[in-house]
Structure formats: structure tokens, C-alpha cells
């Protein structure tokens, strides 16, 4: 957990919503200078902040509308801090909770050096990162449609569909397997939507590939030197991390990727683990997928995993492999070196 500890003359806490902002400004002594509700409008906000912006820090809790506030502060030379939502227990743990109280608490946390920071992702890269996240959502919808086709086939106890329906040329004649006309229409609808997703997702992937190569071609190619990390996983890792230098140690990086579990201990007793939702879910998915794909057509890796599975179990062995891949990627990006499988499997 990282706290914002810089000192300023004024501290502004905003309880952020889509249509309105509750603004609280404290001076260095803790006196309230401003405490009011305004519309979520840049002009109105600027008018309110102008008397204090020469030496002020502005903090908001991380929620989906923070982009424009960060860009607003960047454009007007105001220090901006994004609060980590899961760490801000003082906001959520009070007996009474409303916008006025929350904005004051944010300002107090800023002034006291106890405001937990989240990473402010650069504006010029947010669009591509969000597009990749949207692509993942659409791919899951496409997978649901494929599953529905196979489930319907099993529902009517028909012979298994031998061909891989991921590919368009294998979908011909699938609807005709069913005798009922309504079921045929149902399957035709699924297949038509899958075809539409294929067309749109290929355009999205092409755009992301082109953008990523212009952004950081070297790191993209280094990521793809890892067996199992291909075009999509390399894009996800590149854009979700953005800057590996923001992690001072490999432990910080794998923790951010949700590849480790943290113990809850008190007075020498262990009370399980905590913090499972703290970190980046997309990186957790990427390295979990990479661990499975790393084993494909890779006899040396399969033998290594089998030894590990004999010691633990297969599920835990895959978890260890994902963690090990995360560590390897961190050091590869730091040292700007390609993946060395022989060293990876012996260290």
C-alpha cells in the first residue's frame, strides 16, 4: 500500500459521481475553505478551485468517471491523486455515510498523509487498454454462444460435433443436424452472432496490434518470446502494466498480478488469506492462460510440471507455474532480455 505524503497549502477531496461532485477543500491547518455540491462540469469546477489551485492537491476515489477529472487537473497544473477504492476503509467504515462526509474524509486523508494511491494510467493509452478489456468481454460472449450450440446438441442427444466451431468453415450444416425447425432457427441465430463477433473482433485485434507496435515494439516482441504468450496475451500484459518501473520489486509485481496470496496473522496465529480482490484481474487471467499455453507442445515444460504436481497437485503446480512466469516476465522487461526456457526450468 502506497500513501500520498506530499504537503500542500490546500487539500481538495471530491466525492465523485457521474452527474455531480461534492467538493471539500481544507487548508494546511485543517480548516474547511469550501464544502459544497456542484455539477460534474469542468468550467464549474475550475471556477471553484481557482483561488486555491496555485498550491493544491486534488484526490478522488477510483471509480469509472475519474478519467475526465485527471485530465482536467493535468490541463490546469493541479496535482491529482487517485485513491485505491479497496484500501480506503475510512471512507466506507463510518457509522454515517453521505457525499458530504465522504468528500471531507478524502480531504482529511490527503492532508494527513494517509491517502492510499492507485495508479493514474496515462491518458494517451487508456483508450487501447479499455478496447482490449472490451474485446475480452466480447470474446466471452462469443464463447457462450459456442457453448450453447454444443449444449443444445447434447440436449437432443445427437452425435458429438467433431469439428472445431471456432472456424467459420466448420459451421456449415450444423443447424441442419436438428429436425425441429425452431431449434434450427435457434442454432442459426447463434452461428450468425458468432460470425458477426468474428468479423468485428478481427478488426479490433488488428487495430490493437498496430497501435501496440507503434507504442512499444521492443517490449511486445520480448513478451512474445515466452512460449504461450502470443499476440493477445502480450497485448494484455503490455497495456495493463504499462510501466514496469512502477514496481520497485518483483514481489510488488506478482502481488499486483494476483499471483500470490497474503496471510492474515495476529499474535502468531494465522487466520487464512486476504486481499484476493486487490490487484489486476486482467493480468491474473493473462498469466493463468499463459501457464496452460506454455505446456502445449512443450515436453520439457510438461516434465517439469509433472515433477511439481507429484510434490503438490496439478492445480497448485499450475499456480506455481503462473507465478514463475510472472516473475520471469518482470525480469525480462527490466533487463530487456528474451525468454530463456532452459534457465527458466532449472532455476
Chain segment 189-245, per-residue pLDDT in tens: 999 999 999 999 999 999 999 999 999 999 999 999 999 999 999 999 999 999 999
Residues 321 and 236 in one domain: yes
| 8 and 49 both lie in a single domain | yes
**Same-domain check for residues 175 and 282:** no
Same domain, 188 and 267: no
48 and 24 inside one domain: yes
How many folded domains does the chain comprise?
Answer: 3
**Pairing label, strands 56-61, 10-16:** parallel
- Predicted local distance difference test score (pLDDT) of residue 296: 94
What is residue 92's predicted lDDT score, i.e. its pLDDT?
A: 65
| Phi, psi of 266, deg, nearest 5 | -160, 130
Task: Check whether residue 256 and residue 331 sit in a common domain.
Answer: yes
Q: For the chain, give the percent of residues with pLDDT over 90.
A: 88
Q: Do both 103 and 152 map to the same domain?
A: no
Indicate if the pLDDT at residue 123 is higher than 90.
yes
Mean pLDDT of 281-290: 97
Decide if pLDDT at 132 tops 80.
Answer: yes
pLDDT one-digit tens code per residue, 94-108: 778 899 999 999 999
**Could you tell me if 210 and 138 lie in one domain?**
yes
Residues 111 and 9 in one domain: yes
pTM value is 0.91
**Whole-number pLDDT of residue 78:** 96
Note whether 100 and 179 are same-domain residues.
no
Alpha carbon distance 319, 287 (integer Å) = 9
Residue 113: give its domain's CATH number. 3.30.420.40
Residue at which a domain ends, from 118, 133, 157: 118
What is the predicted pLDDT for the residue at 261?
Answer: 82
Range 236-255 average pLDDT? 96
Residue numbers of the domain that contains 44: 3-118
Last residue of a domain, one of 67, 95, 118: 118
Check residue 330 and give its pLDDT: 98
In the prediction, which pLDDT does 85 show? Answer: 86
Q: What is the mean pLDDT of residues 280-290?
A: 97
Please determine, for residue 42, whether its predicted confidence score (pLDDT) is greater than 80.
yes
Pick the last residue of a domain from 223, 249, 280.
Answer: 223
Given a cut of 80, whether residue 321 has pLDDT beyond it is yes
Assess whether pLDDT exceeds 70 at residue 90.
no
Same domain (yes/no): 238, 342: yes
Looking at the fold, whether 28 and 92 belong to one and the same domain comes out as yes
Amino acid at each position: 500500500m502506497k500513501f500520498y505524503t506530499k504537503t500542500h497549502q490546500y487539500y481538495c477531496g471530491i466525492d465523485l459521481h457521474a452527474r455531480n461532485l461534492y467538493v471539500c477543500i481544507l487548508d494546511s491547518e485543517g480548516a474547511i475553505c469550501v464544502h459544497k455540491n456542484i455539477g460534474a462540469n469542468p468550467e464549474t469546477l475550475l471556477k471553484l478551485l481557482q483561488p486555491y489551485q496555485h498550491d493544491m492537491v486534488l484526490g478522488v476515489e477510483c471509480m469509472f468517471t475519474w478519467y475526465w477529472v485527471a485530465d482536467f487537473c493535468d490541463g490546469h497544473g493541479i496535482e491529482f491523486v487517485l485513491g485505491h477504492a479497496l484500501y480506503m476503509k475510512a471512507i466506507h467504515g463510518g457509522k454515517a455515510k453521505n457525499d458530504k462526509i465522504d468528500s471531507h474524509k478524502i480531504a482529511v486523508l490527503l492532508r494527513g498523509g494517509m491517502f492510499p494511491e492507485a495508479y493514474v494510467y496515462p491518458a494517451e493509452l487508456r483508450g487501447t487498454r479499455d478496447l482490449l478489456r472490451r474485446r475480452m468481454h466480447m470474446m466471452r460472449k462469443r464463447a457462450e454462444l459456442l457453448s450453447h450450440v454444443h449444449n443444445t446438441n447434447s440436449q437432443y442427444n445427437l452425435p458429438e460435433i467433431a469439428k472445431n466451431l471456432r472456424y467459420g468453415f466448420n459451421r456449415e450444416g450444423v443447424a441442419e443436424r436438428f429436425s425441429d425447425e425452431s431449434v434450427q432457427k435457434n442454432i442459426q441465430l447463434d452461428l450468425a452472432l458468432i460470425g458477426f463477433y468474428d468479423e468485428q473482433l478481427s478488426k479490433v485485434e488488428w487495430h490493437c496490434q498496430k497501435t501496440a507496435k507503434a507504442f512499444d515494439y521492443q517490449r511486445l516482441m520480448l513478451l512474445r518470446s515466452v512460449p504461450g504468450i502470443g499476440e493477445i496475451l502480450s497485448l494484455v500484459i503490455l497495456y495493463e502494466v504499462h510501466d514496469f518501473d512502477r514496481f520497485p520489486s518483483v514481489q510488488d509485481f506478482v502481488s499486483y498480478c494476483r499471483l500470490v496470496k497474503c496471510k492474515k496473522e495476529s499474535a502468531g496465529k494465522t487466520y487464512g488469506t486476504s486481499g484476493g480482490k486487490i490487484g489486476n484481474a486482467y493480468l491474473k487471467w493473462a498469466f493463468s492462460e499463459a501457464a496452460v499455453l506454455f505446456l502445449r507442445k512443450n515436453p520439457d515444460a510438461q516434465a517439469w510440471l509433472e515433477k511439481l504436481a507429484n510434490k503438490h497437485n496439478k492445480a497448485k503446480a499450475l499456480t506455481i507455474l503462473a507465478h514463475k512466469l510472472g516473475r520471469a516476465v518482470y525480469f525480462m522487461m527490466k533487463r530487456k532480455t528474451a525468454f530463456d526456457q532452459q534457465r527458466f526450468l532449472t532455476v
